[in-house]
């Protein structure tokens, strides 16, 4: 009897020991699996660069609506004050994604071939000629021998020339470049006779009662339409080194563009998180038309590049098709 009881006790002890060992094995395995899962879910940092303007709307939407996060990115954004600083930061790898106008992008590519790639596009519809609300100027032809203010970029200088050359010799105007935030006040104070201005800055002048439209969409009306105006850019090196990352960035921005198309008012409101303007400004400002590269008119982009070359904005001719990336 004692032998039988001892045997039963030993068996129970072995079963208990096996259960304990199984518990610790499962717990250990689960902990390791948990660590692996957590490590795998860590998001990659994505540095987004922009100048505070509506030009970068797809970037704002992708950040605010979580499209970058859906692609596994933890977003950090960097504000810039100039196009040149922004493009230089992209080429050096200090930021991963930004946007640039066609003149700035083509000029950078002309200086350093193979440095940039566009990953979405936009057509120009946000640049306007404005005059003071009480001005007697009623047509572009009346700008002859006048002073025109505009922002600090090569793009507006060329566009002013292209538009006004349809009415008179564009060398007969004086252009004054300054920070975009100062243009409305410069016009109101009489420092300039007209301004060539864009998106939210246009709307600010209207809502403050300082300005009125002289021509709302002069490039489309007097030069050609559509006019390729750049778009989202990444460095060509980043595309070569990590095409999978570039594809994820592009997917996020294509989702953003689709959201802009289907929910324009809500998309505009995302600007309130990044721009120091009232809701009425962002809801009514003139905007470019954004599109994925699947809808890009390459011939139109080439026409713009050729125009820039002919007018000495870029130093050498470009084959525009090589500047667009859709490598998925």
Q: Which CATH number fits domain 44-124+227-323: 3.40.190.10, 3.40.50.150, 3.40.50.880, 2.60.200.20?
A: 3.40.190.10
Q: Which residues contact 202 (CB under 8 A, 6 or more apart)?
A: 126, 128, 130, 211, 285, 286
With residues binned 3-state (H G I as helix, E B as strand, rest as coil), the percentages for the chain, rounded to 5, are 55, 20, 25
Q: Which pTM does this prediction carry?
A: 0.85
Residue 282 to residues 65, 169, 185: CA-CA distances in angstroms?
17, 35, 19
* Residue that the structure tokens 């100062």 belong to: 182
- Structure token digits, residue 74: 């933890």
In the chain, residues under CATH classification 3.40.190.10 are 44-124+227-323, 127-222
Query: What is the pLDDT tens value at each position of the chain, 328 positions in all?
Result: 444 444 444 444 444 444 444 434 434 444 333 333 333 468 899 999 999 999 999 999 999 999 999 999 999 999 998 888 999 999 999 999 999 999 889 999 999 999 999 999 999 999 999 999 999 999 999 999 999 999 988 789 989 999 999 999 999 999 999 999 999 999 999 999 999 999 999 999 999 999 999 999 999 999 999 999 999 999 999 999 999 999 999 999 999 999 999 999 999 999 999 999 999 999 999 999 999 999 999 999 999 999 999 988 888 999 999 999 977 5
Which CATH number describes the domain made up of 127-222?
3.40.190.10
Tell me, what DSSP letter sits at residue 137?
Answer: -
Tokens at 112, concatenated: 């350093």
pLDDT at 26: 39
Instruction: Tell me the angle at which helices 83-92 and 102-111 cross, rounded to the nearest 10 degrees.
Output: 50
Query: Contact at 8 Å (CB) between 235 and 116?
Result: yes
């Amino acid at each position: 009897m004692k032998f039988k009881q001892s045997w039963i006790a030993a068996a129970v002890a072995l079963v208990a020991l096996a259960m304990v060992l199984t518990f610790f094995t499962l717990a250990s395995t689960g902990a390791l699996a948990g660590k692996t899962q957590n490590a795998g879910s860590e998001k990659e940092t994505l540095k987004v660069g922009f100048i505070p303007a509506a030009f970068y709307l797809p970037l704002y939407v992708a950040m605010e609506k979580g499209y970058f996060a859906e692609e596994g990115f933890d977003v950090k954004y960097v504000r810039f004050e100039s196009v040149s600083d922004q493009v230089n930061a992209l080429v050096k790898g200090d930021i991963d994604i930004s946007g640039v106008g066609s003149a700035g992008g083509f000029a950078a590519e002309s200086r350093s071939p193979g440095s940039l790639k566009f990953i979405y596009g936009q057509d120009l519809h946000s640049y306007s000629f404005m005059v003071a609300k009480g001005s007697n100027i009623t047509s572009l032809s009346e700008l002859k021998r006048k002073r025109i203010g505009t922002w600090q970029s090569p793009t507006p200088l060329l566009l002013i020339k292209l538009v006004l050359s349809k009415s008179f010799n564009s060398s007969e105007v004086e252009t004054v470049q300054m920070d975009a935030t100062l243009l409305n006040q410069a016009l109101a104070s009489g420092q300039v006779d007209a301004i060539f201005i864009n998106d939210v800055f246009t709307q600010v002048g209207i809502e403050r009662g300082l300005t009125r439209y002289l021509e709302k969409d002069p490039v489309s009306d007097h030069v050609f339409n559509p006019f390729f105006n750049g778009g989202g850019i990444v460095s060509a090196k980043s595309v070569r080194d990590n095409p999978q990352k570039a594809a994820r960035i592009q997917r996020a921005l294509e989702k953003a563009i689709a959201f802009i198309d289907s929910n324009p008012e809500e998309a505009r409101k995302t600007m309130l998180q990044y721009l120091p303007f009232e809701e009425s400004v962002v809801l009514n400002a003139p905007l470019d038309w954004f599109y994925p590269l699947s809808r890009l008119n390459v011939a139109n982009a080439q026409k713009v590049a050729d125009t820039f070359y002919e007018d000495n904005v870029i130093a050498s001719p470009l084959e525009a098709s090589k500047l667009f990336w859709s490598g998925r």
